[in-house]
Amino acid sequence: MIKTRTPENIHMAISEKLSKGATYIDALVEYSKENNIEIETVAEIVKRSSIIKEKIRSEAIAMKLVKKEKNDLTELCQ
């Protein structure tokens, strides 16, 4: 039986890694390695979850991997 991969399933699968302090980015990369699927496939699934996308985006900004947009909502909330 083929297991359907959804954002919720992926989030549940990486939750232990997250609870141990892993970043979403690292946890998703490890998930793709453990399940022998390409990271691009995981990305396509994750794109359907606005919550996971925002968590990854926030991490990327904090790690200075991407620039913060000038009209970013996080700036308005601070």
Reported pTM? 0.77
Distance of CA 22 to the CA centre of its chain: 11
Handedness of CA 6, 11, 16, 17 (dihedral sign): positive
Range of the domain at 13: 7-77
The answer as to whether 25 is a domain residue is: yes
The answer as to whether 36 is a domain residue is: yes
- CB-CB neighbours of 18 under 10 Å: 14
Domains contained in the chain, number: 1
The answer as to whether 1 is a domain residue is: no
The answer as to whether 30 is a domain residue is: yes
The answer as to whether 2 is a domain residue is: no
- Each residue's pLDDT, cut to its tens digit, for the chain (78 residues) gives 567 789 999 999 999 999 999 999 999 999 999 999 999 999 999 999 999 999 999 999 999 888 877 655 554 444
